[in-house]
Amino acid sequence: MDGGVAGVVTELVRAQRAAGFVVTVACPEGGLGQALRELGADVRHWPATRAPGPSLPGEVHRLARVVDEVRPDVLHAHSAKAGLAARLTVRGRIPTVFQPHAWSFEAVGGLTAAVATAWERWGARWTAGVVCVSEAEHLRGLRAGVRANWRVIPNGIDPARFRPAADDAVRAALAPLAGLDPAALLVVCVGRLCRQKGQDVLLEAWPSVLRRVPGARLALVGDGPQERGLRHHASEGVLFAGAVANPVPWYQAADLVVLPSRWEGMALAPLEAMACGRAVVVTDVAGARESLPPGHRAHCLVPAGRPRPLADALTRTLLDPSLRESLGHQGRRHVLTAHDVRYSAEAVADLYRELLDAGSTVAHRAEHTECRERIRS
């Protein structure tokens, strides 16, 4: 309901509505549902929790009612929990596309990871297509033993919405709200405050950055389960901006954007930042690595979970304005070429059409066979 998955769903719905699709979205009440209604989607209230648990049977039952009412041609389930509930609900009776947005078994360990892996293998039989947002996510699924009709469709963003702007003007507008010093160098991290996104590593690295770049500021944009602990360990120069409906001004105000994730499918934040003409520093995990243009990797990739290399990369980039400007220009061109949401939405639509055509062929063959049997009898 928040973070990158919500962003992907919103941009996909926006593009699908513009292309003339009739789109119904089942989700819990909240900001995502309201945003999708404003785009013209039919939003159905589906009470559901983030993780599997005792509420799952009731969630499946409620989702079944929605499916019966809407009678969709294709069902597209985003993220592990929705993928679990949707496939248990439909069990292959409707062409079902599953998009994991990072595999469930990567977020857990031990017995829980084994159970999650076993489910993904089993659930694939009720899945007409699996959409991975990076080649690395696809390979992780294969290595886990998931057998599926695969599509790798990189995440896309709207370059008309995420676009460059004069950072001094944007920062001046944000300053009264966020307490920013318009003259200070600003590092921005946009993401849910959780272990996956690695803000704890970033806060451990920040004092080293501050010693070498006095007066620099770090803004954490987002909320999440680790917020209290992160606040407790935050040092000087760190601002908690909270969740925001529109992160664009924060990207535009930044001198540098950082995403210190431990794992990713393909994060939106680096793509959004590059579309805004900003240099990025990301950890060398598969989904983040694939989001960068090849020329960025020497400057912008750091090992995951290691504060010192992260601090060094942030410091080096902050102290080199010409490098930041060059990386920002290259990043914008890369997004326009490879990550425009229109390309992603059309690739998804092509998959829908393929599944519907295949279903029509199967139905036609079945009808033809039934007709022949009637003639024989």
Could you read off the pLDDT of 268-287 as tens digits, one per residue? 899 999 999 999 999 998 77
Looking at residues 52-80, what average pLDDT do you find?
95
Q: Does the pLDDT at position 326 exceed 50?
A: yes
Residue with tokens 């159970």: 115
pTM: 0.80
Nearest CA to 108 out of 144, 139, 134, 136 is that of: 144
Instruction: Give the tokens for residue 285.
Output: 């995990």
Q: Do 65 and 86 form a contact (C-beta atoms < 8 A)? A: no
362 and 293 fall within a common domain = no
Residue 273, in any domain of the structure: yes
Helices 341-376, 3-18: inter-axial angle, 10-degree rounding: 70
Residue 290, in any domain of the structure: yes
Pairing, β 150-152 against β 186-190: unpaired
Write down the pLDDT at residue 139.
Answer: 93
Residue 377, in any domain of the structure: no
Residue 346, in any domain of the structure: yes
% of the chain residues with pLDDT over 70 = 94
Residue 161, in any domain of the structure: no
For residue 236, the domain's CATH number is: 3.40.50.2000
32 and 134 fall within a common domain = yes
39 and 75 fall within a common domain = yes
Residue 375, in any domain of the structure: no
Q: Does the pLDDT at position 366 exceed 60?
A: no
349 and 203 fall within a common domain = no
Q: Where are the alpha helices (DSSP H) in 91-242?
A: 110-123, 135-143, 167-178, 199-212, 227-233
306 and 178 fall within a common domain = yes
Burial class (CB in 10 A: 0-12, 13-18, 19+), 143: exposed
229 and 298 fall within a common domain = yes
Residue 97, in any domain of the structure: yes
Q: Does the pLDDT at position 36 exceed 80?
A: yes
Q: Where are the alpha helices (DSSP H) in the chain?
A: 3-18, 31-38, 56-70, 80-90, 110-123, 135-143, 167-178, 199-212, 227-233, 248-253, 268-275, 286-289, 297-300, 307-318, 321-338, 341-376
Q: Does the pLDDT at position 181 exceed 50?
A: yes
125 and 203 fall within a common domain = no
Could you read off the pLDDT of 209-247 as tens digits, one per residue? 999 999 999 999 999 999 999 999 898 899 999 988 889
Residue 278, in any domain of the structure: yes
Residue 268 structural domain: 167-338
As a whole number, the mean pLDDT across the chain is 89
Q: Does the pLDDT at position 30 exceed 70?
A: yes
201 and 112 fall within a common domain = no
37 and 49 fall within a common domain = yes
302 and 198 fall within a common domain = yes
Q: Does the pLDDT at position 367 exceed 70?
A: no
Domains contained in the chain, number: 2
312 and 360 fall within a common domain = no
Write down the pLDDT at residue 176.
Answer: 66
150 and 216 fall within a common domain = no
Q: Do 194 and 225 form a contact (C-beta atoms < 8 A)? A: yes
Could you read off the pLDDT of 118-167 as tens digits, one per residue? 999 999 999 999 999 989 899 999 999 999 999 999 998 899 999 998 77
